[in-house]
Amino acid sequence: MCKQPTFAQNYSLVKLTLGFSPCPNDTFIFDAMVNGLIDTKGITFHYVMEDVETLNIWTEQGKLDITKLSYNTFIHTVQQYALLHSGSALGEGVGPLLVSKHPLDLADIENFRIAIPGFNTTANLLLSLAFPHAKNKTEVIFSDIEAGVLNDNFDAGLIIHEGRFTYAKKGLTKLIDLGDWWEQTTQAAIPLGGIVIRRNFDKELCASVDSIIKESLAYSWKRYPVLSPFITSNAQEMEEDVMRKHIQLYVNDYTTDLGEKGRNAINTLFEKAKQGGLLNGEIEGGIFY
């Protein structure tokens, strides 16, 4: 957890770095708080937008105060960062897909050349848990994976985000929905990405940031289905109807507040990672702030 406060903070002096992706679900969440559309209680947020794997690497380096990250990365950085209750991407039917140009037999997956969106992504964690013998993996920017498979550079690709809506039109075949695999195996929601904050901040500040994220999200929902220029200008090569599908799929009740069901899903992921030998030792201070 974040440390206990020792005195009332003057938030007008607090400047925090914040990282998130340019994907519509993230810009939808953070739009109001980084663009001065809501009261941020005096806190100044200096934000950067990068792809999720870059944010994962930066989290391992401790570069940012607050950041979006894959839950796979959180497993390995939980001693430095605590999870906020708002801003997460969890849900049902939102998991990564393993796709190919032609139908393939998953029994032969250990021989597949697989493009993945990053070794630190939750997508790769789910693939590793489902198919531990699938070792021939190459990191590829998530938006380039479909093309890599279509050009026969890879036998299969692990796609995330808007790839769920575009792979079939591009002529790719779904081999397995790893979200379905996770839900059927664990009876839990799929934890994909979360928002974490440095553990050395006091609990009062952590709670304030959490409430600001929740208010920022509420601001965007009040104006939906209208999408702000901040959202549309950062969504690369994406039509607005695809942006809305993206938001509807990845921004839900769990994003507003994880709740008991969401927290249970994250605890289940940590337990599965521990059982799979991907997490060692106890988590000092717990997962949440």
| Catalytic residue ranges | 161
Give DSSP secondary structure letters for the chain. -PBPPSS---GGG-EEEEEE-SSHHHHHHHHHHHTTSS--TT-EEEEEE--HHHHHHHHHHT--SEEEEEHHHHHHHTTTEEE-SSS-EEESS---EEEESS---GGGGGG--EEES-TTSHHHHHHHHH-TT---EEE--GGGHHHHHHTTS-SEEEE-TTHHHHTTTTT-EEEEEHHHHHHHHHSS-EEEEEEEEETTSBHHHHHHHHHHHHHHHHHHHHHTTS--HHHHHHSTT--HHHHHHHHHHH-SHHHH--HHHHHHHHHHHHHHHHHTTS--S--TT-SB-
